[in-house]
Structure 1
Amino acid sequence: MVKEINEACTTLQQGGLILYPTDTVWGIGCDATDEAAVRKVFALKNREDSKALICLVANDAMLEKHVEHVPELAFDLIDLSTKPTTIVYDAPVGVAKNLIAPDNTLAIRVASDKFCRYLINKFKKPIVSTSANISGHPTPKTFAEISDRILKGVDYVVNLQPEHVNPVPSAIIKLGNDGTVKVIRE
């Protein structure tokens, strides 16, 4: 795992794209603070840049560094969730401008699997996490289902098996600073 973390980290530092196993499905990732790298993800996925991407952080401290105000409820949701849960926060800070949705929100998940946490801790910055598919096509459930276009479009493919057996996208919950809570995806 150390070799894979080092290779992926080097690729991210150089503004490249990685294909990696996440705590949900296989993901395309990049430095979440690098606008040019984020543009590459949108281009590879053939996705409008007005459609938001998810960002992964390693822990609560990194989350608090990249959100102006983390509602207390967020920590309860993170601690009590039985499956990976992405939370949409108001007023993100310190990330690429083209990663922030038009309503000034950002979807962030505290990574729960070992590889992602180790990688993000070594990289010391959040990374983008979006499913490894072309926009409009089904999310691949296994590595074998990932299209050649995606495989050839990234700069590094992490050679590790996911920790999970039945991959499913994360739940997505929007927490507004005004106290509103909205379930976007269960």
Structure 2
Amino acid sequence: MNMSEDDLIKQEVHNAFEAIKAGGIILYPTDTVWGIGCDASNPDAVKKIYDLKQREESKSMIVLTNGDRMVWQVFANIPDVAWQILDLAEKPTTLVLDNPKNVAKNLIAPDNTLGMRIVKEPFCFKLMERMKRPLVSTSANISGMPTPTQFKEIDHHILDGVDYIVNLHHDKVAARPSTIIKLGNDAQVKVIRP
């Protein structure tokens, strides 16, 4: 019997949620490239991702949120221009904002900023609905290596190092990584990755 796409997503959300709840890290499809993720408020899980990617903790990662409400959970002050950019964005856009809160300290960049993207991709959206908190996201590669555009390009070191691999979209070729825009509370706007 073939499961419907909805049932499959439900099953994968359940499996991924169980791994995350146990402090694990997952490999999952996002609205852009394959990501490695965990509960954004769990510093031990965040550290596992840095270790797996062989990445310095000073190079911060981003969090995914599933809507405005979750964005407010992470940032007390959001410049008005942030909402304008998100409303006008035609492709996935990550905003780097000042003074994040309610997330693991080792996720926050040395300049006290954090990248955040709102996703509508059904798996990510439903997983965060279940978690009730943001999901860490970083590309599924060893630091310094190329970002894989599809599942079959992901290094075996990454595949072996995660606690759960989401069983969706293994055949999909990813779009480019998101646009990244840094917004200071002083309303300065800087495009980091177009």
TM range (shorter): over 0.9
2:175 aligned partner: 167
Q: 2: distance between equivalents of 1:140 and 1:123? A: 26
Partner-residue secondary structure (3-state), 2:138: strand
1:138 aligned partner: 146
Q: Tell me how far 1:114 sits from its aligned partner.
A: 1.3
Q: 2: distance between equivalents of 1:69 and 1:26? A: 30
1:64 aligned partner: 72
- The answer on whether the counterparts of 1:24 and 1:164 sit within 8 Å (CA) in structure 2 is no
**Consecutive unaligned residues in structure 1, runs of 5 or more:** none
User: Which of 21, 26, 30 is the aligned partner of 1:18?
Assistant: 26
Identity %: 54
User: Which of 40, 55, 64 is the aligned partner of 1:47?
Assistant: 55
Q: 1: distance between equivalents of 2:113 and 2:171? A: 29
Q: Tell me how far 1:164 sits from its aligned partner.
A: 6.6
Q: Tell me how far 1:112 sits from its aligned partner.
A: 2.5
2:128 counterpart of 1:105: no
Query: Which amino acid is the alignment partner of residue 24 of structure 1?
Result: T
Q: 1: distance between equivalents of 2:61 and 2:15? A: 23
* TM-score between both structures, scaled by the size of structure 1: 0.97
Q: What is the aligned-residue RMSD (CA, Å)? A: 1.3
Q: 1: distance between equivalents of 2:171 and 2:101? A: 30
Q: 1: distance between equivalents of 2:146 and 2:32? A: 15
- The answer on whether the counterparts of 2:148 and 2:154 sit within 8 Å (CA) in structure 1 is yes
**Consecutive unaligned residues in structure 2, runs of 5 or more:** 1-8
Q: After TM superposition, which residue ranges in structure 1, 4 or more long, deviate above 2 angstroms?
A: 162-166
Q: Deviations over 1:140-177 (max 9, x none)?
A: 01100001000000000000017975421000000100
